[in-house]
């Protein structure tokens, strides 16, 4: 593990979730179009995936596009789709070089067919990697995920595969897009907003939250280390007493 000096003796969270935010503000500050902020944000994402893999984080789940983000201008949505197309292909190489398994969560049928195919290809071509699992949440919303999970669960109940009295929190979790993954230990949000914006609503029940004013395109290894250092100072509670 290639932790830098100040990471010594720090516990590395198993699952780090990130709400990447501030691409638009980063661009605005420079008088650039919002799409340039997203482009820079993609570069940051590549770097952070590599850093997370090196630090020994097991799961990194990053919020890239929400079910609500379709409300943005068609110009901005179009620019984001072009970035997905381009970076998904690039990312296969980066993932394989870093032993990273890439997955997407969210509802993918709303994307153009070539993007859906690209997602499938990225998942297939990285599925045997055994290091970091990188999960990109696109057209993802926590409420949407829960509703989709309930539909599948109800269908299984109707077919008799599951009895209503057998439904536990664990069973329900297995119907979510994050099935089989541990809940996030640490949730990082960049750009200062103090809200979840519909991210991993079920999974973040006891996640430690860290918000930084750093805009996503400026986020780097040092910022990630600061978040992990802050996490190390937290006293985790799961409802119990001290």
What is the set of active-site residues? 21, 69
Residue of 66, 126, 178, 203 that binds ligand IPE (CB under 6 A) = 66
Query: CB of residue 184 vs ligand IPE: minimum separation in angstroms?
Result: 15
DSSP state of 174: T
DSSP state of 124: H
Question: What's the sign of the alpha-carbon dihedral 59, 113, 173, 171?
Answer: negative
Residue of 12, 15, 16, 21 that binds Mg ion (CB under 5 A) = 21
Could you tell me if 25 and 215 are in contact, meaning their C-beta atoms sit under 8 angstroms apart? yes
**In angstroms, rounded to a whole number, what is the distance separating the alpha carbons of residues 172 and 150?**
8
- Which of the stretches 13-21, 41-49, 181-189, 211-219 binds Mg ion when contact is defined by CB under 5 A? 13-21
| Of residues 23 and 133, the one with the C-beta less far from ligand IPE | 23
Tracing tokens 């969270």 back to the chain, one arrives at 13
Q: What residues pair up with 140 in beta bridges, in sequence order? A: 66
Tracing tokens 């409420």 back to the chain, one arrives at 143
With contacts defined by CB under 5 A, how many residues of the chain interact with Mg ion? 1
- Which of the stretches 6-14, 61-69, 116-124, 125-133 binds ligand IPE when contact is defined by CB under 6 A? 61-69
How many Å separate Cα 127 from the centre of its chain? Answer: 17
Q: Which residue is nearest to ligand IPE (CB)?
A: 24
Nearest C-alpha neighbor of 61 from the set 104, 95, 91: 104
The tokens describing 90, both together, are: 């690039």
Query: CB of residue 191 vs Mg ion: minimum separation in angstroms?
Result: 7
With contacts defined by CB under 6 A, how many residues of the chain interact with ligand IPE? 17
Query: CB of residue 25 vs ligand IPE: minimum separation in angstroms?
Result: 3
185 touches Mg ion by CB under 5 A: no
Interface residue list for ligand IPE (CB under 6 A): 19-25, 63-66, 69, 80, 191, 193, 195, 197
């Amino acid at each position: 593990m290639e932790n830098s000096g100040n990471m010594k003796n720090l516990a590395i969270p198993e699952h780090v979730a990130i709400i990447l935010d501030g691409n638009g503000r980063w661009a605005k500050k420079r008088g650039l179009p919002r799409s340039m902020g997203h482009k820079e944000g993609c570069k940051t994402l590549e770097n952070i995936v590599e850093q997370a893999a090196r630090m020994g984080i097991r799961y990194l789940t990053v919020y890239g596009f929400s079910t609500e983000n379709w409300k943005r201008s068609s110009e901005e949505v179009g620019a984001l789709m072009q970035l997905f197309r381009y970076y998904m292909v690039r990312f296969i190489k980066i993932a394989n070089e870093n032993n990273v398994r890439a997955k997407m969560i969210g509802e993918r049928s709303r994307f153009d067919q070539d993007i859906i195919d690209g997602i499938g290809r990225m998942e297939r071509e990285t599925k045997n990697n055994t290091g970091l699992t990188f999960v990109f949440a696109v057209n993802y919303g926590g409420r949407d995920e829960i509703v989709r999970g309930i539909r599948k669960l109800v269908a299984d109940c109707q077919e008799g595969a599951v009895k209503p009295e057998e439904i536990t929190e664990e069973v329900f979790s297995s119907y979510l897009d994050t099935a089989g993954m541990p809940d996030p230990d640490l949730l990082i949000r960049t750009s200062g907003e103090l809200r979840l914006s519909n991210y991993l609503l079920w999974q973040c029940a006891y996640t430690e939250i860290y918000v930084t004013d750093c805009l996503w395109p400026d986020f780097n290894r040092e910022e990630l280390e600061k978040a992990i250092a802050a996490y190390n100072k937290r006293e985790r509670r799961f409802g119990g007493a001290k």
